[in-house]
Structure 1
Amino acid sequence: MIVYVNKHKNHITAISAILIALGYIASFLGNGEVKTIALITATIIASLPIAIKAYQALRMKAFSIELLVIIAVIGALFIGEYVESAVVTFLFLMGAFLEARTLAKTRSSLKELIEMAPQEATVIQEGKQVTVPIEDVVEGDRVIIRSGGKIPVDGEVVTGNATLNEAAITGESRPASKSAGEKVFSGTILDNGYIEMVAEKVGDDTTFARMIELVEEAQESKSKTEKFLDRFATVYTPAIVILSILVFAITRNLHLAITFLVVACPGALVIGAPVSTVAGIGNGAKNGVLIKGGEIIDQFSKVNTLVFDKTGTLTKGKPEVTDFRTFGNYEQRELLRLVAQGELISEHPLGQIIVKEAKTKGIALNQDHVEGEVIKGNGIRAKVENHSLVIGNRKLMQTAGITISTTASSYAVEREELGSTAIFAAIDGDLAGIISITDQIREAAPQAIAALRENGIDQIIMLTGDNKRTAKLVATQLGIDEYHAEFLPENKVEFITELKRQGRVVAMAGDGINDAPAIATADIGLAMGEGGTDVSMETADVVLMADKLLQLSHAYALAKATSRNMKQNTYFAVAIVFVLLFGVLMGSVQLASGMFIHEASVLLVIVNAMRLVSFKSKQKG
């Protein structure tokens, strides 16, 4: 019975409307008996789904809005107000229908994401191309994608060239070129070309699947405002019942008490904050920003201090070897081979750039011949082919007792003043060379920082493990308030902890890997990571899927707008309840008109929240 009623709620609403219309027609024709039967039948039919929800809430020891409506309807039937009872139940169901339709639109971004999930994949099995369901693809499978096809799993291109639409992952509509050796992600679309790839992450482990899961979880999570309103509703509903009884006891007017009961339903108050949260998170997902829930939006909107990592955040994160000078007896190619071999144990972006440079020059590397340790924030120590290597910054050289000649020191300073990072490489206790790596500032960084300041960030700080000269150059070019160089991961954590102790609300933006401790320490962790690395998705509160700083300024503006929208809805809902209650007590608001205004207020807060779906932040030029 319950399942049937809930399944056919829309049909019940339509039947109720028809019966009410029939009642009015009978009244116009002077047939009072048919009018009464039609209106009572409409009331009973429309009351079924409302009564079921009220009963289910009572079983959970909760006093719901539906309970108020059912009490009011029983009272209206008792005093013979059949028009009011029928109209009230119909309006309540109609309001629920419109509310559901409108909420569905706010979730459209998530629905679009889910619909974009690939269902099949073409894999090579025993030398033949076979189309299989997506769930049958396993790690290591060789997958083929042609023009117009969807990338079914995460992996690496092994052959072919193509342009991909990665908007589903990054929010970036501009096509991205992909060729052998580059990563591709499930859910993206191959616009032109042909590629073969090796599956690395499949099923629920793909970036696309995890992104959908995170958005779903975020939309279900509640903000502090929503949690407060949930607690408020459990007290408010019984309080209104008691007040209605007092109204009747004082006035002896049952109709007035019932009207008081109906118009006091806090529908707009209960729905206002959740719909704002859902719409805000949906907007973020559509624009490549994952915000992990309503509480994150609340906190993010209060941030006044933004701390940036430098490499890969304010800079492009795609540095290149721009100069390589030797100071010992090693030839440049041989030195590069040994250094790159040692850097195979490191996950630091700069180390990986050296490895990439060696591979570009056709140098074969073998990780099996490497032993060593990573010294976080400084570099590595490694044993390669019976040679002891120390590779890293100036501080590591000093700790290891490596002498840096005046010539080498001057060269390093010269490169640093030009904005490069100098990587020192020592072999068997002697400085053998310096590798200069340069990373360009992101083109959108000045624009994004200006937009962040415009939206309320009053302190912007940069922390980096890089040298002071390079840090100063970047900070000066971007107009950053404060910078600190040669910071280890633990130094960043200590610095953020101190900012919080001073009463600042701090957001930390990093690459989600070596900055994970600082991201976790901040009030809000922001991860820059194209494709969403495992660490960035797990550690951060906000993930920027396209590695674009303008997404960060959009995310902050969106959080402020969403928080503001929630407050608008809450204040409006409270005002409507007070106005209606005052109107009832003054005799100017009747049962049906009160219910109509009540349902209209619910729709108004939803429409207000829906503005967030199309929200666009103002980017400063």
Structure 2
Amino acid sequence: MKFVIKHEIRGRLHVHLIQKRMTFEEADTLQYYLSTNKYITSVKVYQRTCDVAVTYVGGRAEIIKAFQRFAYSKVDVPDVFIQNSGRELNQEYWDKLVNKVVLRCGSKLFLPYPVRAVAATIKSVRYIWEGIKCLAHGKIEVPVLDGTAIGVSIFRGDFDTAGSVMFLLGIGEILEEWTHKKSVGDLARSMSLNIGKVWLVSDGQEVLVPAENIQAGDKVVVHMGNVIPFDGIVSSGEAMVNQASLTGESLPVRKAEQASVYAGTVVEEGGLTIQVKQVNGSSKFEKIVTMIEESEKLKSSLESKAEHLADRLVPYTLGGTALTYLFTRNVTKALSVLMVDFSCALKLAMPISVLSAIREASVYDITVKGGKYLEAMAEADTIVFDKTGTLTKAQPTVVDVVSFNGKTPDELLRIAACLEEHFPHSMAKAVVDAARKKNLVHEEMHSKVQYIVAHGISTTINDKKAVIGSYHFVFEDEKCIIPAGMEQRFEELPSEYSHLYLAIEGVLEAVICIEDPLREEAAAVVNSLKCAGISKVVMMTGDSERTASAIAKRVGVDEYYSEVLPEDKASFIEKEKKAGRKVVMIGDGINDSPALSAADVGIAISDGAELAREIADVTVGADNLYEIVTLKAISNGLMKRIHKNYRTIVGFNSGLIVLGVAGVLAPTTSAMLHNTSTLLISLKSMENVLS
């Protein structure tokens, strides 16, 4: 590619590409190509001017070579990246905004007053008609106020005031629609499926393959706790499927042979083999956008109150206008009241504040599924942490495999990995990763596996029953025994590690020792949350009392509970809520799902079980628990902004009304100041809370 360097400082290049024009697709292709370069930390592609600004670390020569090697035809960009980039949307609304301002200024400068008067009269018809329709439905709401203000101005021949009011209302409509669509798009993109590999049925075997290799007509297996990756028809199996993300249904739906299933839904119980019907990556995105736009989850209670308050204030504004005229007999003073209302700013600024906060959270790799969860997070006083994969690192590691049957540790690890690879849990990942590092490949040696939540896995290997899981599951539920003469070896197992027990035909075969190190930031995060307003931090885990006690002491939680079952976590949260506390639950596993559902705010770790992510109200990245502190800060900041907006809107507009009634401000000036303040408050609400 040919280019010239327009400007350069250390660590930053501003490059101009030698081409006549750049399409949206080309801009997205270049954005994707540069953002995948390990030396480049940020990229901004200016499609209209064919310019690119990059910041980088490392050698400048590497960046120059990257530009020289680039060709649009050589870059393989995922379809979903281009389809859902949002670049075209932003350009469309920016053009609308610029065109509206240019037309307004141009008409004021070059059109004679009579022409402007006719244009204002024609434009006013829409607003007046909206007000009449609102009255026809028995409602006195904002369209009535807008229509009345514009209609009275037109009737009095004050066409400049009418034009100014309509111009500012139009600007507000564009900004509101733009912010809403952009925020919804950002949110939907972060909620879209990110499934790397799926289980393909090939020659009677389940083979793990990249999702992009799947074609329509292929059969894929979806195990319990996993997201269904494609639209399709069930060819075998039976399962309960959670479809809440698409349909809003709170209860899972039974799916059996010949039933239709949809991408993005989650298998809660059982397992399915699905014949793929559609592999279009954008279908899930489009469904999520529709879901968000139609869902009341997007509304916080303060946002809804603002809308209701705005509508309730309209009759009072109209009444104030009538009383002012009745007592003063002065149309100008009466119009000064009519030109000012609280509802425009309330209805515009509040949703923009909420959507902007959701968008800001996504910058920090935090997905929030609705404004009401930000409000609940701000009000929260209790946080419950799961331990494994949450307070501890998301990637526990196998440190030893202790044999109890004479087989080699590698052979036993191979068997365990064969069972565990089907289910999403941090302990299971540790076993699978350990086998992979040792190149312990295997053919599927077992029959259909059954996952027992918070306990373990049960299956058959060579017609022999095999189980792997917790002590409670293997020894108490399944009544397995320790081989004769191996009791002392069992007693000497290292106590500092978590243990997975593998038994075949009721006899212990191996114990897998797993190190689950505490996250470095865990204690600091707990302390930061307390400083941010959380009064009670709780840890709940299925681990032993010994392990739980040690972790709780190091982290600094207020309470901890060991050897708990999924229903115990949910029951604790319900009890806290009944005591009047606002509860946040943070977890990553299938066993955390009941508690995530029960909490006021359920937060899932991004690389945890897909069921947990689907059920949760918020998803945070797995890299750093400080994102929870960031979420709390954004939520607290949003509530402060909303309350500040209330005070500003009520105070400023009340002042305008008083000055108008006193005759200090003319109706035109009142309208201009009112609409300008609404616009400024809305623009301020679009800013990041943490800036």
TM-score, structure 2 as length reference:
0.66
Aligned residues: 521
Q: CA deviation at 1:527?
A: 1.0
Partner Cα separation in structure 2 for residue 550 and residue 216 of structure 1: 30
Partner Cα separation in structure 1 for residue 295 and residue 521 of structure 2: 28
Instruction: Name 2:652's counterpart in structure 1.
Output: 576
Match of 1:395 among 466, 472, 476: 472
Q: CA deviation at 1:55?
A: 4.6
Using a 3 Å threshold, how does the CA distance of structure 1 residues 9 and 46 change in structure 2: closer, same or farther?
A: farther
Amino acid at match of 1:287: Y
Does 1:96 pair with 2:170? Answer: yes
Instruction: Name 2:690's counterpart in structure 1.
Output: 615
Q: CA deviation at 1:317?
A: 2.1
Instruction: Map residues 99-138 of structure 1 onto 2, 5 A cutoff.
Output: 100-101=174-175, 104=178, 108=182, 138=215
Q: Is the 8 A contact 2:613 2:619 kept in 1?
A: yes
Does 1:541 pair with 2:617? Answer: yes
Amino acid at match of 1:89: G
Amino acid at match of 1:407: Q
* RMSD of equivalent CA atoms: 3.9
Instruction: Name 1:407's counterpart in structure 2.
Output: 488
Instruction: Map residues 367-378 of structure 1 onto 2, 5 A cutoff.
Output: 367=444, 369-370=446-447, 373-378=450-455
Instruction: Name 2:577's counterpart in structure 1.
Output: 500
Instruction: Name 1:451's counterpart in structure 2.
Output: 528
Higher helix content, 1 or 2: 1
Does 1:239 pair with 2:316? Answer: yes
Amino acid at match of 1:563: M
Partner Cα separation in structure 1 for residue 593 and residue 188 of structure 2: 29
1:488-537 CA-partner distances (Å, limit 9, x unpaired): 1111111211121222111111115331111111111111123x864244
1:530-556 CA-partner distances (Å, limit 9, x unpaired): 3x8642443111112455312222122
Q: Is the 8 A contact 1:263 1:581 kept in 2?
A: yes
Partner Cα separation in structure 1 for residue 555 and residue 290 of structure 2: 36
Using a 3 Å threshold, how does the CA distance of structure 1 residues 351 and 16 change in structure 2: closer, same or farther?
A: closer
With 344-353 and 299-308 compared, the bigger mean Cα shift is at 344-353
Instruction: Name 1:86's counterpart in structure 2.
Output: 160
Partner Cα separation in structure 2 for residue 112 and residue 276 of structure 1: 15
Q: Is the 8 A contact 1:512 1:539 kept in 2?
A: no
Q: CA deviation at 1:87?
A: 2.3
Instruction: Name 2:500's counterpart in structure 1.
Output: 423
Does 1:468 pair with 2:542? Answer: no
Amino acid at match of 2:554: Q
Q: Is the 8 A contact 2:457 2:468 kept in 1?
A: yes
Does 1:599 pair with 2:681? Answer: no
Partner Cα separation in structure 2 for residue 438 and residue 58 of structure 1: 68
Match of 1:385 among 462, 471, 482: 462
Partner Cα separation in structure 2 for residue 100 and residue 220 of structure 1: 23
TM-score, structure 1 as length reference:
0.73
1:89-143 CA-partner distances (Å, limit 9, x unpaired): 324413531663476368656667899999xxxxxxxxxxxxxxx99983699xx
Does 1:316 pair with 2:393? Answer: yes
Instruction: Name 2:364's counterpart in structure 1.
Output: 287
Amino acid at match of 2:334: A
Q: Is the 8 A contact 1:233 1:270 kept in 2?
A: yes
Instruction: Map residues 230-309 of structure 1 onto 2, 5 A cutoff.
Output: 230-264=307-341, 266-309=343-386
With 252-261 and 95-104 compared, the bigger mean Cα shift is at 95-104
Amino acid at match of 2:648: F
Using a 3 Å threshold, how does the CA distance of structure 1 residues 15 and 478 change in structure 2: closer, same or farther?
A: closer
Partner Cα separation in structure 1 for residue 103 and residue 477 of structure 2: 83
Instruction: Name 1:160's counterpart in structure 2.
Output: none
Amino acid at match of 1:525: G
Partner Cα separation in structure 1 for residue 618 and residue 648 of structure 2: 29
Gaps spanning 5+ residues in structure 2: where? 1-94, 194-210, 219-228, 231-275
Does 1:521 pair with 2:598? Answer: yes
Q: Is the 8 A contact 1:46 1:93 kept in 2?
A: no
User: Percent identity between the aligned chains?
Assistant: 26
Q: Is the 8 A contact 2:183 2:355 kept in 1?
A: no
SS at match of 2:518: coil
1:166-208 CA-partner distances (Å, limit 9, x unpaired): xxxxxxxxxxxxxxxxxxxxxxxxxxxxxxxxx9994347887
Q: CA deviation at 1:237?
A: 1.8
1:201-235 CA-partner distances (Å, limit 9, x unpaired): 94347887777677766799222122223223333
Instruction: Name 2:21's counterpart in structure 1.
Output: none
Using a 3 Å threshold, how does the CA distance of structure 1 residues 608 and 550 change in structure 2: closer, same or farther?
A: same
1:253-307 CA-partner distances (Å, limit 9, x unpaired): 2222222111135211221211101111111222221111122222121111111
Partner Cα separation in structure 2 for residue 16 and residue 365 of structure 1: 71
Gaps spanning 5+ residues in structure 1: where? 1-6, 24-33, 119-133, 142-152, 155-198, 617-621
Partner Cα separation in structure 1 for residue 110 and residue 441 of structure 2: 86
Q: Is the 8 A contact 1:510 1:527 kept in 2?
A: yes
Partner Cα separation in structure 2 for residue 529 and residue 332 of structure 1: 32
Partner Cα separation in structure 2 for residue 9 and residue 104 of structure 1: 10
Instruction: Map residues 486-497 of structure 1 onto 2, 5 A cutoff.
Output: 486-497=563-574
Instruction: Name 2:259's counterpart in structure 1.
Output: none
SS at match of 1:611: coil
1:332-389 CA-partner distances (Å, limit 9, x unpaired): 3443344444546654432343344345444454445335644432333443224443
More contact order relative to length (CA 8 Å, sep ≥ 6): 1
Instruction: Name 2:37's counterpart in structure 1.
Output: none
